[in-house]
Chain A
Amino acid sequence: MNRDVRRSATRGLVASSTLGALIVAGSRNLDHFDAALVAYTFSILFATFGLTYRYSMWLSRPPTALYWRRGWQAFFRRGLLIRHAGQLLSRIGLDVLGNRFIVRRGQLRGLTHLLIMWGCIIAVAITFPLVFGWLHFSPVPGDLTRYEAVVFGFRAFRFPHDSTLAFFLFHGLVWASFLVIAGVMLAMRRRMREGGAAALQRFAEDFMPLVLLFAVSVTGLMLTASYTWMKGYGFTFISILHAVTVIGTFLWLPFGKFFHVFQRPAQLGVGFYKDVGRLEEKAHCRRCGHAFTSRMHVLDLIEVERKLGYRYEIAAGEVEHYQWICPPCRRASFVMAQGLLWRGHRGGSSLPCAEALLPMPTFANRGLGEGPLDSEDAENFHP
């Protein structure tokens, strides 16, 4: 067992033990812990171990480790912390909670993700505290018309049990499942109709999560239908079926597509890294002389590539490392190398350049979507 595996397993055990301790504390020594939900609890504890283990292993990869560190360093950069704190809140709101970047990929796609994401957030916010015994409702002593919500053993708020608030609160999982089912249907529709999606998708990676979410939502709704309109018909069987789908989903969390939920916040750190890079010294291509990214980014990539075993060092000349060549000049070098082999076979001749640096290649078509895709491509490719 190597060091990373041992360290990740230890972190996983610490995380699941901490959650176990919080369950004991939050349910007041299991006084408010519902024993019927013990299978859910253990599946979440396992998922916590698995997620922490995988996250830790992911962080041990050279590029992830470096950018994790750099992201935090960039965020806490002296003189920029207040600005970064404001940007953090704004980006969490717009990108994480509002899915702005997904809406830009496609409005229907954005709606699909928003429905699934918010359905899951609502469901998790309700079920986890209930399963852990962190939240329970009890009648207000001496007033049987009102309920009291108790959070982590502390009285939180009271409400009439026949109020609209109570109706919405006690049916929270129903609303959540409506959102999830609508989102899953839209996602399935896209996966079945789009040729591009059909070519790239895999069952385990792309369909399995949708099937699991659908199964959880539908069996959950069946429970509500059973006790509301069918006098509890088949309730025991449905509750076992629901438990199986939910536990299956939890166990799948660390392995499949759901892991992106935990990876995704890394984009916030990357944003600060790139912001700081724009304020710093630029890297200049050693073929054409134009600036194309931050010097810090080039140096970091050289370090990552060395750790990964790549040897892009160039022994002769002033270039030193291929990473100092901008992307357009790499394309030019690649094609010129092929052309060099044809020298003497085909017509044309080299047109010597009087300048010390060669001119930078330019896009044949700079139209939107045909050359650079966005402002960052403009920096990368300096069209």
Chain B
Amino acid sequence: MIALGYTMVYGVLQLINFAHSEVFMVGTFAGLYALKAMASGPEGGIVLAGVVGTAMLAAMGASALTALGLERIAYRPLRNRGAPRLSYLISAIGASLFLQNLLFVLTPIGGPAPRPYPNVMVRRTAFTVLGYSVSNQQLLIVATMIAMYLALDRFVMASHTGRGIRAVAEDPETAGMMGVNIKRIVVVTFLVGGLMAGAAGSLYGIYFGQARFDIGFIPGIKAFTAAVLGGIGNIRGALLGGLLLGLLENLGVTCIRSDWQDVIAFLVLVAVLMFRPSGLLGEAVRG
């Protein structure tokens, strides 16, 4: 799901948003505090659905705001000047470092130690398939992912703005001449990317039970790998890439030691970039 956010922003700007992992991290924290505000212990039924849903919405809102702020502060001045690619990358890294350490320094909210998530949704086995048990949390994640994916796919493929996004991705100059408001499209793209990251962040928090200032880094890299694997800028590709990467990692760990798990993502990334740089399903926002 983070991969979806990457893919969106990349497709439109032809740029890797290095600060995307921090947008995700902000989402995790926002989800945490929203949950804390509403519930203290395990909940069930309708209440649970409401609480988790609201927390996810709060996380999405916070992440979207962060993404918009990023666009406004770290990207737009450069774009207005027509700066070279290198400037964007450096600016994004700076912003990423800044956000990370902001959460590190603000001890009432973040701080160096991980913040535990309230145990609202107790993990238990929902059902068993072929001897593998699927927990209720995993079910939630998969369900949300599918819903998000469908919504995003519809948005990009069918809506007016979505058509604008695809046009800008393909050829910004021509799109601009045809009357597409590029500035607005870029903002919307960051917004959507932020929403996705926020949802992913809160789910990540619920599943792994904690939030920390540097939590965004590894998921960020992995999501990027997933996006590249599927074909960056391609929404279906991102979904496929995410699934494949998850599989590869888990298979890889059974073959070698688990210390190396994070290395697998990198190796996959390098291999894909070398042998099939356009990814499995090809580049460009196609859907």
A and B physically associate: no
